[in-house]
A and B are shown apart, each in its own frame.
With several copies, the nearest count.
Chain A
């Protein structure tokens, strides 16, 4: 097998390997590139040169060579990260079943108290569930029921309708029969 002829070619091999590795390369990894025909000291010197060539101060370079715990890697300079992140928008988390069902109950049965929700779902409602929906500005308290404890009455907000692209609750699909025609009521 061919071996690099000079130090310039060695440095290029090193650079190409680091740019394509997809993970940090340790000194031992990098020595493998040269089939054991390189001294660690030489390798370190070349890495220092590469660091300088691609350093933060070279404004025309878009990646830089950095040393991390497990070795060396090229990484995009920080100012580009936010743009690159647009290629892979984080997958959005999903609401738990409890949150979705609570929201559905409030949407279909409003105004309801926490007690109503608990009765329908058959389980206690974690205050955190209500809080998540309030923070999203999808539900709010529209009054209290006049019973002992005066529990809050929850209803959905205009913002909820906007986010679900509805003009009014009447546009929510009637759950029991989507095919059944109904007399449309303007609201």
Chain B
């Protein structure tokens, strides 16, 4: 088995790589370390190289001097320990696979062995799969693409801006409130529950009413028939809170006579 015979008469890659004709033909899966860059540009990996050798040079994938290859690889790995070791590993793995296949081929075969049991079948399957993907990649590369060969209509139009007010969600509001509290360190003082919020809402409502009506009779603030007890209580708490904060004045001319509320400001 001699690789020289396999490659006799072939000139490797009639195309030039980096403007230079490639001096040496890859006779096996060994890459001379000094030619690493060139080979890496030419081949995408051991599968690619193997495929090239098979398709272009009718190389039998087993017709490779395994012992010599292994020696070459070990020297290669030594040299490449510092850089690009992972690349060496891929080629090394491939040669290991070939050696394994070869050793299995050399074992005496039982007569009844089926074609599918050929140890080379898996490698051939991978090679053909890779070959199909390689061609698919070339085809995708050649297809017209937007930004290169396809030009999409994009005429101009007058941009009309419709001014809309900012949107505010409940979450935004709560977030803002939390920020306020964080900064003011008011956590201890202002733990608000729903009930207190209701009180504050009623305080605003009463004030708003006092703005238009000036004088409101106390009992008119309460709708005994329609408001449930909780609402009546909240409303009453609101009146007390308003009085406490000095926001309303509560007056009564005589005992048991009507009680009136008026905004403090409206004297």
Contacts and interface: CB of A to CB of B under 8 A. Distances in A.
Contact of B151 (A84, A121, A145): A84
A183 interface: yes
A163 B147 contact: yes
Nearest to A184: B194
Contact of B135 (A136, A168, A178): A178
A174 B193 contact: yes
A92 interface: yes
Given A74-B152, A163-B168, A164-B145, A122 B183 contact: yes
Contacts of A81: 144, 149-151, 157-160
B128 A108 contact: no
A173 B184 contact: no
Contacts of A172: 170, 173-174, 197
A180 B154 contact: no
B201 to A, nearest CB: 4
Contact of A111 (B140, B207, B228): B207
Interface of A: 16-23, 63, 73-76, 78, 80-82, 84-85, 89-95, 97-98, 100-101, 103-105, 107-111, 120-124, 136, 140, 142-147, 150, 153, 155-156, 162-166, 168-180, 182-187
A168 B202 CA distance: 10
Given A85-B160, A110-B201, A145 B265 contact: yes
Contacts of A144: 263-265
Interface string B4-38: 00000000000000000000000000000000000
Interface string B156-167: 111111111111
27 contacts: A20-B151, A63-B153, A73-B152, A75-B150, A75-B153, A76-B156, A76-B158, A81-B144, A81-B150, A85-B148, A101-B133, A104-B177, A108-B136, A110-B201, A121-B45, A123-B87, A145-B265, A163-B146, A165-B144, A165-B145, A170-B198, A173-B139, A173-B174, A174-B197, A178-B131, A185-B120, A186-B228
Interface of B: 44-48, 54, 60-63, 86-87, 90, 94, 105, 118, 120-121, 124, 126-141, 143-170, 172-181, 183-184, 186-187, 190-195, 197-198, 200-204, 207-208, 210-211, 228, 230-231, 234, 245-247, 263-265
Contact of B46 (A100, A122, A145, A184): A122
B159 A85 contact: yes
A176 B187 contact: yes
